[in-house]
């Protein structure tokens, strides 16, 4: 995408943030941005923020409002105060690298805040005795943070015991640690289908983080909301705190 086209999309995107803008035209502009590969910093930052928030233009509008004072300052310095809102924005947005910084930081800080409520799984206890259980070699690798090796063993166990909750759950846990979120999602979702599972509450909570890391933001919020509505879930209060971060 050349510079001229990027400038045009950026100008239209900024116009579309106005309350009285045609909703159908706004969707067309967002769809155009969604299918583009921008290199312009401000446009790329806007796309990243929209992707992070399921293309909710209100999030972009709120984020841009926080930079508007700086926009006004730069606009006054360029002596364009009497121009329309569109021209004011268009005149200053291209050199404003702080816009990209804000967008990236907003997304990053949201994830950081949420991750503060995520606790790494401690694993199963080691059983003392002459003969080790099937899970001990896996847990030793897991606690040693040798996740690649642990995943290989976990994969073998899961192949042998595909319906075993322990095998499914820890396959998901290790996958999450390796950032294989798609696999973790499958495993956690399978556990949450059975509320009688000893791992049900843990899997339900961890599934929310997994969905968030897959940028399935609506599904993640719904998952945490489900937990907050379940008074028996020990992660009830943590889920409420996470939802506050997602607002």
pLDDT digits (tens, 9 = 90+) for 194-207: 999 999 999 999 99
Domain 136-246 homologous superfamily, CATH: Tetratricopeptide repeat domain (1.25.40.10)
N-to-C CA span, the chain: 33
Q: Is residue 136 predicted with pLDDT exceeding 90?
A: no
Least confident of 26-35, 103-112, 159-168: 103-112
Are 177 and 119 spatial neighbours (Cβ–Cβ below 8 Å)?
no
pLDDT band at 112 (very low <50, low <70, confident <90, very high): low
**pLDDT reported for residue 52:** 72
**115 Cβ neighbours under 8 A, 6+ residues apart:** 209
pLDDT band at 117 (very low <50, low <70, confident <90, very high): confident
Full-model pTM = 0.57
Going by pLDDT thresholds of 50, 70 and 90, the confidence category of residue 167 is: very high
* Integer Cα distance of 75 and 80 in angstroms: 6
Delimit the domains of the chain by residue range. 3-109, 136-246
């Amino acid at each position: 995408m050349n510079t001229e086209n990027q400038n045009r999309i950026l100008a239209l995107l900024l116009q579309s943030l106005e309350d009285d803008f045609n909703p159908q035209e706004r969707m067309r502009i967002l769809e155009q941005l969604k299918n583009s590969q921008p290199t312009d910093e401000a446009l790329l930052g806007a796309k990243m923020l929209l992707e992070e928030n399921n293309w909710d233009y209100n999030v972009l509008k709120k984020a841009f409002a926080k930079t508007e004072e700086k926009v006004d300052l730069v606009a006054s310095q360029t002596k364009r105060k009497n121009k329309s809102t569109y021209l004011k924005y268009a005149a200053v947005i291209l050199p404003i690298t702080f816009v990209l910084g804000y967008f990236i930081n907003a997304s990053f800080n949201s994830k950081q805040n949420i991750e503060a409520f995520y606790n790494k799984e401690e694993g199963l206890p080691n059983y003392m005795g002459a003969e080790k259980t099937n899970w001990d070699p896996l847990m030793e690798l897991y606690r040693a943070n040798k996740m690649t090796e642990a995943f290989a063993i976990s994969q073998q166990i899961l192949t042998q015991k595909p319906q075993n909750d322990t095998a499914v759950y820890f396959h998901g846990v290790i996958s999450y640690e390796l950032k294989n979120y798609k696999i973790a999602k499958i495993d956690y979702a399978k556990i949450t289908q059975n509320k009688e599972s000893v791992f049900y509450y843990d899997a339900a909570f961890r599934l929310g983080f997994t969905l968030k890391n897959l940028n399935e933001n609506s599904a993640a919020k719904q998952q945490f909301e489900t937990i907050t509505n379940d008074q028996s879930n020990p992660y009830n209060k943590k889920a409420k705190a996470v939802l506050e971060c997602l607002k």
